[in-house]
Amino acid sequence: MKYILIILGVLILWAIFIYNGLISLRNRTIEAWSDIEVQLKRRYDLIPNLVNTVKGYATHESSAFENVTKARSLAMGASGPTPEHAQAENMLLGALKSVFAIAEAYPDLKANQNFLALQNELSDTENKIQSSRRFYNANVRDLNTKIESFPSNLLAGIFAFSKKEFFDLADNDAAQKPVEVKF
């Protein structure tokens, strides 16, 4: 009887340890996604200011500005780390590259302090998004590994823990390159 209680106690402690580890990994993954959302919101907020600054110099480039606006709306409407969200973000990056290409043709714009400040902020934001995405994907990797590994997979199944999707923006070579800013 004594040994049965000891074995039962060890099993209960094991289950608690595994369950708490799964909860911790899930919460870190949620927190990491929240960090990405904060940086994406920062990017979304900078884009209209950047577009308006460039518009003042390049009024005849309206299709590029419309593309940025549409891509921004699609990206803002996407939710969660899904392939659709990643595709929307890739479209936004492509549209932003066209705005920077337009800016190259206007020397006065490239010297505009407001444009330079916005460009620096956007570049900083892109770096933060990349960092947040790496942190999120590392947490997803750890959570998915724990969910799939024996013996924690037993409890993960019982308590309905599910694997998370990685947030990969780079579906093609063009999307893998950061927004390039050069004068």
Give 86-113 pLDDT, tens digit per residue. Answer: 899 999 999 988 888 888 888 887 778 8
Q: Quick check: is 30 in a domain? A: yes
Q: Considering its fold, how many domains does the chain have in total?
A: 1
Instruction: Give DSSP secondary structure letters for 39-64.
Output: HHHHHHHHHHHHHHHHHTT-TT-HHH
Q: Flag whether 72 is in a domain.
A: yes
| 182 within a domain of the structure (yes/no) | no
169 within domain boundaries:
yes
How far is the C-alpha of 32 from the C-alpha of 55, rounded, in Å?
35
Domain residue limits at 37: 2-176
Half-sphere exposure of 126 (CA within 13 A, CB side): 21
Q: Is residue 16 assigned to a domain?
A: yes
Burial class (CB in 10 A: 0-12, 13-18, 19+), 138: middle
3-state secondary structure 120-131: HHHHHHHHHHHH
pLDDT at residue 147, as a whole number:
96
Scanning the structure block, which residue is given the tokens 């004594």?
Answer: 2
The 3-state DSSP class for residue 182 equals coil
pLDDT of residue 170: 58
Of 126, 130, 137, whose CA–CA distance to 28 is shortest? Answer: 137
Is 133 part of a structural domain of the chain? Answer: yes
Interval 1-46: pLDDT, tens: 899 999 999 999 999 999 999 999 999 999 999 999 999 999 999 9
Provide the mean pLDDT of the chain: 87
Claim: this prediction has a pTM higher than 0.85: no
**183 in a structural domain:** no
DSSP 95-163: HHHHHHHHHHT-HHHHH-HHHHHHHHHHHHHHHHHHHHHHHHHHHHHHHHHHHHSTTHHHHHHHTT---
116 contacts 30 by C-beta, under 8 angstroms: no
What CA–CA distance (Å, rounded) separates 98 from 86? 19
Residue 18: CATH number of its domain: 1.20.1440.20
Q: Does residue 52 lie within any of the structural domains?
A: yes
